[in-house]
Structure formats: C-alpha cells, structure tokens
Amino acid sequence: MAPGQRAGAAAATESKMARYSKAIRSLLATSLGLPGMQDLLAKELPEEGTDYRYTFYDEDPIPQNRLAFGDPRRYEIESHQFRVVKNIDDSYGLELNFQHETMSGSSPWYAVPGPDGPLQVMSGATIRERRNQADAGVRFLRGDWSHRAAVGYSSENDYVARYGSYSVERESADSLRVTSWGVSYSNDDVTPTDAREFGRVESADRDALSGSLSVTQVLSRNTVLQGGVSLTRQSGFLSDPYKLVWIGGAVIAENRPDERRMLTWTARLRHFVEGPEAALTMDYRYFRDDWDVAAHTLDISWKQPIGETWEVIPSVRYHAQSAPDFYAPYFLSQPGGIHWSSDYRLGTFGALSYRLHARLKGEKWSLSMGAEYYDSDESLALATPHFDSPGLVSFWRLSAALRFRY
C-alpha cells in the first residue's frame, strides 16, 4: 500500500471510530485487541486474577409418605473453590484450581413396593466425607493457534480420580471463527467404605476417554454462536457401589454394564440486546448413549447491568431424560437381562432449576451472590415415565464469590 493510500485508510478508520463509544475507541487504541474476547477467540491469554467461590448445597429431605425406612435427611455440601491465573509472558499462561468439599447426610439405597407406589429406603447412618480436587493447566499461543494442557487429581475417602486433557484452538484469518479440538482422559479408583460388612466390591477402577470438536462463529456485531460435538467412552466398574436393588424380595447390589459410549451435541448462543444493554445466553445440549439414555438440557440466562456497577442475572434451566432398559425402582421378578439398577438418577424425569445472581463490580474486583432452587420430578419429563422414582431430588444452592484482577 502506498503512503497516500495508507493515510487515506487511516483517515477512514478514524472516521468510523468517531461514531463509536469512548469505551470502544479505547479498545481500538490498544491495537484492536479486545481483552474480553480471549474466551471466544484464540489470540489472547486469559485475564490474570484470583477467584474464590463458596457454595452451600442443601437437598430437601425425603417426604415421609415416600420413605420406607432410613434417615430422611439428605446431603448437605459445603464447597470452597480457588482459582489463580498468571501469565508468564505474552505467549505462556498458567492456571491453578483447587476445590475442597465437606459432605454429610444420608443417601438413597433402593426402593421397595408400597401401597401407593415405590417407597425409598435411605442409608441409616449419616455419611460424612471430604473431597479435595486440584488441577493445573498451561496455555500457550503460537500464531493463530492456542494450546492448553492440564492435569488434575481428585481424592475422597472412597474415590480417587486422575485426569488430564489437551485442547487446541485455531482462529480464522478474519478472527471471526475459532475451531477447537480436545481430548481428555480420566482413570478412577473406587474403594467403597465398609465393603466387607455390606458385601460391596472392595476395589475397582474405571476409565473415561473423551474427544470433542467445536466451532465458534461471530454471526454479527451482537451475536456469537458455538456448535460442538463430543464422544466419550467409559469402561470398567460403572456401577455405584452403594446402590442396591430390590428383586422379588431380595436386596442385591446394582449391576450396570461395564462400558458406556456417550454422545453430546451442544449449541451455545450469546446475543447482545441493544435497548437494555443486556446479554441473552442460551446453552442447549442433546445427550444420548448406548444405555438408551437420551436427554435434552436447555439453560437460558439474562445478564442485565444496572448502572455502572451492578449486574443482575436471572436464569432458568430445564433438563429431561429417559431411562435405560435396565432401570426400575424395583423388580417384582428376576429381570430378563443381566443388568439392573434402581438408582433414581437413571430414571425418566425432568428437572427445572431457577437461579438468581447479583454482581457488584469494581475496576479490579467483583463480588457476586447467587441462589438456585432445583426440582426434579417424573411429571416434568418429556418421555412418558413408566415408574415413580421416590428418590428424585430437590435442592437449594447458595453461593458467594470474589474475583480480583491484577
């Protein structure tokens, strides 16, 4: 380009810049880099900072008219999460995450026939345990490519997971599209408590290998869409060692297949609504597997700024799933196949979740508070449920979070 042409192009750019807000001109002044787009596009490292989040999770007790025996009080979990992001230079960045949870309460074991439908049997003794999880990741940029590798470890008294992942993203020349590929692997050990006393498996392991592909596309100045697909293969001991099944009066351990192949399709939309200056977010996932589970999940949020410093985010999530053939709350006679489970989480049901978050933002920090109520029920299912599942859960979740940016 000749110097005269260059000057003309610069003048045209200046003219366009003048039409935009001060904030956007400020962004343009920094070589057209858009700091908020590092999540969307691949040429930027994440913002440096430290995050802390506290969550209190509390399940509603099993109603007395659906309880056969056991402790009706269900799980309470307190969780502390920490995250640190530090960039070494313009090309390398580190991420560290740590999570500590304490859990207490009783858990559904199995269901028995009752006069008006299945009744839930809960574990009698209160379960108390802790879980610690740590993972570390490194991200590095090479031209239009961004790479991320991470390893992690999770430990509780009866379960250990070791996992790793690698993903790579490539940004298109016009910076309007990012294509991402990822693989992850997890190796988990299961060592149930009181195994001999209750006839549980004493030690077992399972593996999971997953691959994913996604494409993120800027559709307009207000809209971004991401589509993705992932495949996961789990193998090994995939049963829950604490779950039991009532079969013709006998109570035995559940027995799930030792392999599971899972498929997800996802679509994520972000749309800026010009009048209220709000963001509408919609996440949809279609899931199915070779156990005959199919599920639809839709999560919608409205992120509304109020003044310069506040933001309010109401959101709703709907999930509906169908049950595998080997699921029933109980079996009056020996099932035809070799697998059986009465774990309510495999049943046909739907769940609605309502959330409200509020966030106060400073220049380098933010404080947010949030609440969620989650309710699952057979009547919310899309498929016709064949059974009542008395163990279906409802819970409250309250959280508070602090974020600092360097």
Partner 1 sequence: MKFSPWWTDWRRLALLIALFALSACAHVEPWERGRLAQSRMALVEDPLLSAMNDHVYTAKEAASGGAGPAGGGCGCN
Scan residues 196-215 and list those touching partner 1 (CB under 8 A).
Answer: 206, 208, 210, 212, 215
352: nearest Cα among 389, 298, 307, 314: 298
Name which of residues 379 to 398 contact partner 1 (CB under 8 A). Answer: 393, 395, 397
State whether the Cα torsion 94-95-100-105 is positive or negative.
negative
| Cα–Cα distance for residue pair 253/295, rounded to 1 Å | 26
Name which of residues 329 to 358 contact partner 1 (CB under 8 A). Answer: 345-346, 351
The nearest distance, CB 241 to partner 1, in angstroms, is 8
The nearest distance, CB 179 to partner 1, in angstroms, is 10
Q: Which is nearer to partner 1, 332 or 398 (CB)?
A: 398
The nearest distance, CB 46 to partner 1, in angstroms, is 9
| Cα–Cα distance for residue pair 349/393, rounded to 1 Å | 11
Name which of residues 283 to 312 contact partner 1 (CB under 8 A). Answer: 285-290, 292-295, 297, 303, 305, 311
Q: Which of 21, 30, 333, 384 binds partner 1 (CB under 8 A)?
A: 21
43: nearest Cα among 164, 178, 158: 178
Tell me the CA distances in angstroms from 337 to 172, 253, 310, 340, one per residue in order.
51, 15, 56, 8
The nearest distance, CB 5 to partner 1, in angstroms, is 18
237 is a site residue for partner 1 (CB under 8 A): no
Name which of residues 49 to 108 contact partner 1 (CB under 8 A). Answer: 51, 53, 55, 57, 79, 81, 83, 97, 99, 107
The nearest distance, CB 275 to partner 1, in angstroms, is 13
The nearest distance, CB 68 to partner 1, in angstroms, is 18
7 is a site residue for partner 1 (CB under 8 A): no
Name which of residues 115 to 174 contact partner 1 (CB under 8 A). Answer: 131, 133, 135, 150, 152-154, 156, 158-159, 161-163, 165-167, 174
| Cα–Cα distance for residue pair 31/114, rounded to 1 Å | 70
| Residue 207, token pair as written in the block | 């593996």
Tell me the CA distances in angstroms from 284 to 66, 75, 267, 319, 335, one per residue in order.
33, 28, 5, 10, 35
| Cα–Cα distance for residue pair 218/178, rounded to 1 Å | 9
